[in-house]
Amino acid sequence: MKRIVNPIAAVAFATTSTFAIAQTPPNVLVVGQIAEPQSLDPHAVTAVNDFRILVNLYDGLVRYADGTLEVEPSLAESWDISDDGTVYKFQLRDDVEFHDGTPFDAEAVVFNFERMLDEDHPYYDTGPFPLAFYFSQIDTVEATAEHEVTFTLNEPFAPFLSNLAYPTGLLISPQAVREHGENIGRHPVGTGAYQFEEWESNSRVVLTRNNDYWDGAPDLEAVVFRPITDANTRVAEMRSGGIDMMVEVPPDNVSMFKEDPMFQVYEQAGPHVWFVILNMRNELLQDKRVRQALNYAVDKEALVNDVLQGTATVADSPIAPAFNWAYNDELDGYPYNPDRARELLEEAGAVGEELTFYVTEGGSGMLDPINMGTAIQANLESVGLDISIETYEWNTFLGRVNAGLEGEADMAEMAWMTNDPDTLPFLALRSDAMPDEGGFNSGYYSNADVDKLLEQARTSTSQEERARLYKEAQAIIVEDAPWIFVANWQQNAVATDRVENFHLQPSFLLQLRDVRKP
């Protein structure tokens, strides 16, 4: 397979450049990421930071159509769904190979899903598989012909196709898993437009062009993802020429890049929620009045307008307005009202209480987390609470928060970018999604009525009925206030004027096959 001449040397030159934009190699795109990836195994990660790399290495059965969250064919050319919504039969492309030369076929699809879902599978121990929840309705997956695979669900599941398009549904080479076992995350093999070349820890991940890509080879010869955790350093690298593109531009710098003709700023609304998890196993926070007081105490308009420089809007629900058909726009939420916050705290006998607040240095969708955390701390202290902040690097932060806040912290920042209105509430607010059960309900919220509504919504085949159920669930959740609802972000990126054919996706993923950089 054709590669660029000595791509590693070219990439190394790009990652040490600090002088002029022209010093990044022609036809090699260098992307500044917000953190080191956790893994390059699509089934083992949860962060959009990692997904942005993975969608260029792998394909799934289906994918999101350009510029939408609508599903279109990918490795599956077509599919049929049974009348009762429980059987999905996919016809697969018969001309695709994994990057290691092994065939993509129905048996490979079965291997991928059984690896995630079957504890008796011989390679189940190559996990963990934290988002296997996306496919928990699968009863069986069978190779019903060489290039035909059939999924039988244990009940109708409305988000199934959308979840298959999400990065957790990307497909990895079974032979690579067998060869590398638990180390597969450092040796990724997919069918995507780019193939894995190198991962130098805390320096770069290098992908090179797949000349045999089934959907047409990309123009770029290589893509380099550089982890640059400090936002100011990312900006400096962008301005000096060390990178060609950066994601999640700090709000203070957006206008600067917009005014400079050497750069292009891209913006795109999407389904994003930034919130603060509240630990409901803390006796103080078990009192709904205290949780509501925390929501009233935070000046979200100031956060959005001053800290985030207008790059977001105020959030008032666990379902983002981008899901306009499912979003409940009739809720009042919690407008800034410090007097009401103090009143509720006094009623609950909570004035003067101490709370520990986990804040991260930066991560997928976290916007400006240190400044946001500091502003929230000041808001809460102004109404009579004592807030102690503990700050962690992103992957360390995820390890602590995703394991559950009990015995750790009382509050923690978090952000989710999702593909369906079902995803965030189902994985992070349902009673059966506690951390010790494999979910992300790190604050231990539980409401039987919410559980029932979420279960009904995901099994309904009527979008109108799903919308009604989600809106009813949102009303209960907002009243219960298990989180401080803060912001919905308008994602952004900046690139040099040499980058062509790039645009952001509402999925928050970086699709780079059509990008050029002469």
pLDDT of residue 462: 87
pLDDT, tens digit (0-9, with 9 covering 90-100), for 129-140: 988 988 999 999
Residue 20: predicted pLDDT: 41
Q: Which residue has the higher pLDDT, 16 or 225?
A: 225
Percent of the chain residues topping a pLDDT of 90: 83
- Distance in angstroms (rounded) separating the CA atoms of residues 296 and 97: 55
- pLDDT value at residue 14: 46
For residue 37, pLDDT over 70 is answered with: yes
**Under DSSP, is residue 139 helix (H, G, I), strand (E, B) or coil?**
strand
Q: Is the pLDDT of residue 216 over 80?
A: yes
Q: Ramachandran region of residue 117, left (φ > 0), alpha (ψ -120 to 50) or beta? A: alpha
Over residues 66-84, mean pLDDT: 94
* Mean pLDDT of the 45-65 span: 95
**Structural domain boundaries of the chain?**
1-56+192-244+498-518, 59-180, 272-491
**Would residue 515 be called left, alpha or beta, if left means φ above 0 and alpha means ψ between -120 and 50 degrees?**
beta
pTM: 0.79
Query: What's the whole-number average pLDDT of the chain?
Result: 93
Spatial distance between the Cα atoms of 273 and 489, rounded to a whole number of angstroms:
7
Same topology between domain 1-56+192-244+498-518 and domain 272-491 = no
pLDDT value of position 18: 39
- The verdict on domain 1-56+192-244+498-518 having CATH code 3.40.50.300 is no
- pLDDT category at 15 given cuts 50, 70, 90 is very low
- In the CATH scheme, what is the code of domain 272-491? 3.10.105.10
Tens-digit pLDDT profile for residues 438-458:
889 999 999 999 999 999 999
pLDDT at 475 over 50: yes
Torsion of CA 29, 30, 35, 40, to 10 degrees: 50
HSE-up of 475 (CA within 13 Å, CB side)? 12
Cβ neighbour number for residue 378 with a 10 Å cutoff? 12
Q: Is the pLDDT assigned to residue 19 strictly greater than 70?
A: no
Number of residues in the chain: 518
- What is the tens place of the pLDDT at every residue in 402-441? 999 998 999 999 999 888 999 899 999 999 999 998 889 9
CATH number belonging to domain 59-180 = 3.90.76.10
Instruction: Output the CA–CA distances (angstroms, integers) from residue 146 to 92, 93, 109, 346, 403, in the order listed.
Output: 9, 10, 11, 68, 41
Tokens of 43: 């089934």
DSSP state of 231: H
Helix 463-480 to helix 448-459 angle (10° resolution) is 160
Cβ(418)–Cβ(509) under 8 Å? Answer: no
Please check the confidence at residue 12 and state whether its pLDDT lies above 60: no
pLDDT in tens, 20-35: 444 789 999 999 998 9
* Residue 58: closest CA among 243, 193, 229, 250: 193
Distance CA 187, CA 141 (A): 26
Q: What is the pLDDT of residue 491?
A: 87
**Mapping DSSP to helix (H, G, I), strand (E, B) and coil, where does residue 382 land?**
helix
* Model pLDDT, residue 366: 92
The enclosing H or E element of 71 equals: strand 71-73
Distance between CA atoms of residues 77 and 67, nearest Å? 20
Residue 186 reports pLDDT greater than 50: yes
Report whether pLDDT(391) > 70. Answer: yes
pLDDT per residue as tens digits for the range 143-173: 999 999 999 999 999 999 999 999 999 999 9
Confidence at 7, pLDDT banded by 50, 70, 90: low
Mean pLDDT of 91-112: 98
Between CA 238 and CA 247, with CA 244 as vertex, the angle to 5 degrees is: 70
Q: How confident is the model at residue 70, as a pLDDT?
A: 87
- What is the structure's pLDDT at 403? 95
